[in-house]
Amino acid sequence: MTQHDGRITLFAPLVTATDTGNTDGRDTADSPFTEVRGRAGEAEAAGIDALLLHDSQSGERTHFEAGTLASALAVCTRTVGLVAAISTEHALPYHVARVLATVDHLTAGRAGWQPMTGGDPDAVANYHGNGSGSASARRSRAVEFTTVLRGLWDSFDDDAFVRDRDSALYFTPEKLHPLDHRGEHFDVAGPLNIARPPQGHPLLVHRVTDTSDSDDLALAARFADVVLLPAQSGQEAARVREAVHERARAAGRSTGGIAVLLDWPVEGGPEEAGRLTRLYDAGAADGFTLVTPAGAAGPAHKAVLALAADVRAKEGRTRPTARPGATLRERLNLPRPASRYETAPQAVLEAQEASGHP
């Protein structure tokens, strides 16, 4: 079983709905964004590693658009990661690549994204009726979407921009790479007109809703940096975590490049941090997503803050508290991916494009 590095990773959903009302005891004149910003700052102070920014493409509840919200929170936060939910059904890869690269630069490397592949008919109706149809078709589109994003983020080598006034050389032309992707779902020429993100690739967070779905586990193991699992027993969570690792090794990945987080429904109470820590020490997960009832703010939000603070205080007494790295990947002890152009010959890149693999 893969060993931990000694610090529990903590994620939490951020309530992004704009119709929750004044549930946190703030001034009733506060704007919805002021409330969201306040909750984000409190989560950061409590020791949350990353916030999951939910989004919805339909329905009567009002939400901030996740990518735009991440950009706004970028200048209001200093250490917490910002993971935006992105619909791979209704968005286009080039636009999303630009948004996430921008957020990663604005935050000095704290951006992440969570692909959303659902087939909500109401959302489809909001986008000219365009949708991929079956679950397998939506999954195929998401795989190609991810492949294109990672190719676009590698458009410029890390050292492409020299900005040499004496020679009037802004960047080295040989270190700029068009993508020229032609696939089943997308044709994207590239290159991306933004420098390579600080993290190389913004963090990919994959939600597994059914741990018996072997195809979804394989997809998570192949692409994800962070895998989110539903709440379950510690023994079952450890089994699923090992299954993800086995599939990752089969795909040629190091298990050190994947963090598996277990949903933890927050109840409150003085013993909760100890229970969570024991599950972590037993190898059930690399960390936890601290969840509350959908849309909950107010007391539920305060319970999340209290639990996160208790976990961090306990760590300070019993285990190393290092790892507050400048980027989200460093904070989670995950490697920064090298550019495809640094690690693969042209023939391999062409084969990857043909197969849809990143």
Domains of the chain by range and CATH?
9-128+194-338 (3.20.20.30)
pLDDT value at 320 more than 80: no
Model confidence pLDDT, tens digit, residues 260-281: 999 999 998 889 999 999 999 9
- Give the mean model confidence (pLDDT) for residues 248-253: 96
User: What pLDDT score does 349 carry?
Assistant: 52
- Is-contact 68 36, C-beta < 8 A? no
- Is-contact 91 65, C-beta < 8 A? no
- Is-contact 233 140, C-beta < 8 A? no
Q: Please give the DSSP secondary-structure letter assigned to residue 338.
A: P
- Is-contact 298 268, C-beta < 8 A? no
Name the packing angle between helices 346-355 and 135-153 (round to 10°). 150
Cβ neighbour number for residue 11 with a 10 Å cutoff: 27
Q: Which long-range contacts (CB under 8 A, 24 or more apart) does 227-231 make?
A: 227/258, 227/259, 227/260, 227/261, 228/11, 228/261, 228/263, 228/289, 229/260, 229/261, 229/262, 229/263, 229/285, 230/263, 231/262, 231/263, 231/264, 231/265, 231/291
- Give the mean model confidence (pLDDT) for residues 10-23: 76
> What three-state secondary structure class fits 54?
coil
Tell me whether residue 196 is exposed, middle or buried, using C-beta atoms within 10 angstroms of its C-beta: 0 to 12, 13 to 18, 19 or more: buried
Q: How far apart are the first and last CA of the chain?
A: 27
> What three-state secondary structure class fits 191?
coil
> Does the pTM exceed 0.85?
yes
Tokens of 349: 């890149």
Mean pLDDT lowest among 43-47, 162-166, 266-270, 347-351? 347-351
| Omega of the bond leading into 191 within 30 degrees of 0 (cis) | yes
Name the packing angle between helices 272-281 and 298-318 (round to 10°). 60
- Give the mean model confidence (pLDDT) for residues 319-346: 81
Q: Please give the DSSP secondary-structure letter assigned to residue 330.
A: H
Rounded to the nearest angstrom, the gap between the alpha carbon of residue 241 and the centroid of all alpha carbons in its chain is: 18
Torsion of CA 92, 52, 68, 61, to 10 degrees: 90
Mean pLDDT lowest among 10-24, 218-232, 328-342? 10-24
User: What pLDDT score does 122 carry?
Assistant: 63
Residue type, 251: A
Residue from 281, 267, 347, 272 nearest 319 by CA: 281
126: pLDDT confidence band, cut at 50, 70 and 90? low
Residue bearing the bigger pLDDT, 167 or 83: 83
Question: E strand or H helix at 122, and its extent?
Answer: helix 121-125
- The count of C-alpha atoms lying within 13 angstroms of the C-alpha of 82, restricted to the half-sphere facing its C-beta, is 33
* Rounded percentage of the chain residues whose pLDDT exceeds 90: 69
The mean pLDDT of the chain is: 88
pLDDT value at 246 more than 80: yes
Report how many helices (DSSP H) and strands (DSSP E) the chain contains, helices first: 12, 12
Distance CA 293, CA 13 (A): 11
* Rounded percentage of the chain residues whose pLDDT exceeds 70: 82
Tokens of 331: 């904070």
pLDDT value at 70 more than 50: yes
Model confidence pLDDT, tens digit, residues 36-68: 999 999 999 999 999 999 987 656 677 899 999
Q: How far is the CA of 263 from the CAs of 73, 289, 292, 296, in angstroms?
A: 24, 5, 10, 16
> What three-state secondary structure class fits 151?
helix
- Give the mean model confidence (pLDDT) for residues 152-160: 96
Distance CA 334, CA 287 (A): 13
- Give the mean model confidence (pLDDT) for residues 202-231: 96
Tokens of 165: 């006034």
